[in-house]
Structure 1
Amino acid sequence: MNHKILSSRRNESDVWREDNVIFIRGLTHPRHASQFIKVIYHARKCNYESVIINMNGVSGVFPNACVPIAAAIQYYKDSSLNILVEKQSYKLENAHFNKPLLATSDVLNAQKYFLSKIWEFNNDKMVFELVSALVKAIVEKVECSAGVLQGFEWCLNEVMDNVLQHSRASRGFVMVQVHAESKRIAVCITDTGIGIYGSLADSKHKPKSAVDAITLAVKEGVTRDSSIGQGNGLWGLFQIVKNNSGRLSITSGQGSLFIRGDETKTFDDIPYIDKNHKGTIVDFQIDASQIIDITNALNGFKPVNLRLESLENDTGEHHIIVREYAHGTGTRRAAE
């Protein structure tokens, strides 16, 4: 049987397959992740024992394409598919695209730079230490308006905790990128677990579809199990991003919800790994120049400012050891 995909497909997609070789020419849009999921699924159906992923020509690397593809590659590697990633650019190698960094204390302490890298996490300690490192990296990269850092930290903690609590995946992946010119903070968090529909299917909410499950999940108080969560994680993320006039996309299984300003779109034909691993992709952007009123966004709830609390000494004063931040003050912008 000839499994070869016709070369004309190259003109229709930035990701295509020829026999067991998958060519990727773009990592700048969520559609690139969808295209990859589709072609590697069909490659797997053809029973290839190994797959080569050719990255020659990839220049731009955005979290919302890079992280879902990296997560899928790790899933297939765990499923005993031999995958060789070849011809990576410096940006891809630096992002640890083929082998995400495990967020252990040792690895975090050995790193100088935390942004534009794919991180793997699998427990609460990793989440706490990684989020702390990413917040500090944001401080040194871009000047943030009031509430931005706290909003960013809150969203990151909540979504990563959702992966640990609800996905039934053994791990999650996250990447944070700063676009200094536009002052945008871009975040993508991905898992290859059961998906939001799978999580809520046996709950009292009884979603009818993947899109229905996502739409429910961004409402206040919706959770699979109230004993392990209040159901405010994705709702709070939605509220904070909206308060900031940012952008949010939540994709899980075949469903996707996109929100930007007053614009809302849903999609119900998104490719996914398989029926037991529909996965969830949370992709959002925050404008560092726009104030976030986090208390107003969360309907009066005032979360603990973990960053300030970490700087507080026994007498209630905020104790800042300047030498720990010295490497971030080499320019006037960084110092500010």
Structure 2
Amino acid sequence: MGLPHYVEHRKFAKPRLNSSDPSVLQYLDQDEREVAVDKVIKSALRKTDLSRANIAALEWAVNEITDNVLTHSQSHVGGFLICHKLSHHDILEFTVADAGIGVARSLGILDECEAVERAIQEGVTRNKSTNQGNGLYGTYQLALASSGIFALNSAHANLYVTKAGEMHIRDESIPYKGTYVVCQIDCANPQLIEHALTIGGREHSPAYDYIERKHEQAGGVLRVEAKDLCQTFGSRQSGIEARRYISNLLRDDDGLRLEVDFANVFVISSSFADEVFGKLFVEMGPLRYMRRISLRNVAPAIEGLIDRAITLRSQTGL
């Protein structure tokens, strides 16, 4: 997870988010926050089957909670973010933490338990002229709709919502010096936004999402650089993550076409080629595959490996 760096930064290197293990990401300003959120979404696309709507829901929640840190917490170390997929479930859990003034001081409420309870209610914020106060509320609703846990700890107050939706609030004798939020989102729920993000009596749809910002081109074309699909091109495990990333990009709109750009990639393994392109060819069928997926800037050696992988996989099937 990379935690030792934040305990003793002179001895341990700063962690990097890779394709296998989640790492703690620190952010000190809006630019670093946006980079951290994008890394989390990219990792989620590699590890979990996601609809376009659920990508937007996850991105909205992580954006809201991480932005709260910079807007309200006055944390001298900024914020910390980590996200991982629960084993054997399509559930993503993310945690955002800071070392700031806490929810009660931010809202101007003396009772800390009352403060965390009010913080997850709709429209609660310290300054309604600049903030709508729906970040924690909407994130809490996403966890409820997912039958996932939600936790909000700040100073002496501990709010915990079980998978059954039961809320428990208790006064802790040992304070957490700051605030942290834990939220679980069920990515297998196709109507997550419809069930959860109702704000001001109206369904809230995030205006745009990661795929639109990072991959959409004119004319209904998505473009992805091969290096965004995974960290390495030498293993079947990397291929599994790359294939899931591609499948997620194409999942909801059969009219979209995807260009995979292999610029500056000079070698891939046979197992990687088979896991990604061989299996996609068989899963989608030849005509649909050729209509929807094209490769650009492919080195001859890589092209040969992909052609062979498709031929062999077509003979053996999935």
Q: Tell me the TM-score normalized by structure 2.
A: 0.64
SS in 2 for 1:193: coil
2:171 matched residue in structure 1: 268
SS in 1 for 2:141: helix
Superposed CA deviations along residues 13-66 of structure 1, whole A, max 9, x for unmatched, are xxxxxxxxxxxxxxxxxxxxxxxxxxxxxxxxxxxxxxxxxxxxxxxxxxxxxx
Structure exhibiting the larger radius of gyration computed from Cα positions: 2
1:307 matched residue in structure 2: 210
1:331 matched residue in structure 2: 240
1:289 to 188, 204, 225: 188
1:259 and 1:280 map into 2 onto residues whose CA distance is 16
2:47 to 111, 131, 141: 141
1:190 matched residue in structure 2: 97
Bigger proportion of residues as helix: 2
1:279 and 1:290 map into 2 onto residues whose CA distance is 32
- Superposed counterparts of 1:1-336, under 5 Å: 95-100=1-6, 112-113=18-19, 115-145=21-51, 147-170=53-76, 171-201=78-108, 207-260=109-162, 261-272=164-175, 278-299=177-198, 300-310=203-213, 311-313=215-217, 315=218, 317-321=220-224, 323-327=226-230, 330-331=239-240, 334=244, 336=247
**Segments of 4+ moved more than 6 angstroms:** none
C-alpha deviation, 1:158, in angstroms: 0.5
Superposed CA deviations along residues 244-284 of structure 1, whole A, max 9, x for unmatched, are 221101011111111123311111125225xxxx3101012
Q: Which moved more, 1:190-199 or 1:178-187?
A: 178-187
Superposed CA deviations along residues 200-255 of structure 1, whole A, max 9, x for unmatched, are 11xxxxx3411111111111111011233111110111111112221101011111
2:221 and 2:120 map into 1 onto residues whose CA distance is 35
Superposed CA deviations along residues 64-119 of structure 1, whole A, max 9, x for unmatched, are xxxxxxxxxxxxxxxxxxxxxxxxxxxxxxx21121499xxxx89x7544852111
Where in structure 2 are there 5+ consecutive unaligned residues?
A: 232-237, 248-318
* Residue identity opposite 1:308 in structure 2: I
SS in 1 for 2:239: coil
SS in 1 for 2:3: coil
C-alpha deviation, 1:307, in angstroms: 1.2
Superposed CA deviations along residues 171-197 of structure 1, whole A, max 9, x for unmatched, are 111111222422332211111111000
Where in structure 1 are there 5+ consecutive unaligned residues?
A: 1-94, 202-206
CA RMSD of aligned residues (A): 2.7
C-alpha deviation, 1:321, in angstroms: 2.3
